[in-house]
Amino acid sequence: MKERLLVMNGQKILQHEQEGRWQNDKVEKAGLVKPGIYNLYLASQADKTKTHDGVILHADRDSVFQQVGKNFVKHDRVDFVKAPAIGSHSSITYDQGKAIASAASHALSRGVSR
């Protein structure tokens, strides 16, 4: 089933495709998720040997979806003791099959670094 997340006007709308048309499943406040259309059905399964660094877009009972660059990664929800907050910029690594989410540090700078 194709799912997407539509974020606009401070709202987050979870949709699924049915007979070529998008149907709304859930509407809630967008929180920290930036406006856009996020095609969750394009998410690849998380590689447990790598670190995934990006924004958490959506979590349901089965999966946690993360945007990593321009791509989407799907983590199994059962791998988390506690799923990271929606809209948070997280770094997710795996240790003995369990997902560990921590706040990702990304430096923003203006000017020349020395």
- At 53, the amino acid letter reads D
pTM of the entire predicted model: 0.87
> What pLDDT does residue 93 have?
95
Percent of the chain with pLDDT over 70: 90
Q: What is the pLDDT of residue 86?
A: 94
**Domains, the chain, ranges and CATH?**
3-103 (2.40.50.140)
Give the span between the Cα atoms of 110 and 108, in whole angstroms.
7
* Separation between Cα atoms, residue 58 and residue 26, nearest integer Å: 12
Tell me the HSE value of 80 on the side-chain side, using a 13 A CA sphere. Answer: 20
Query: What pLDDT digit, counting tens, does each position of 1-21 carry?
Result: 899 999 999 999 999 999 999
Q: Mind listing the pLDDT tens digit for each residue in 47-63?
A: 999 999 999 999 999 99
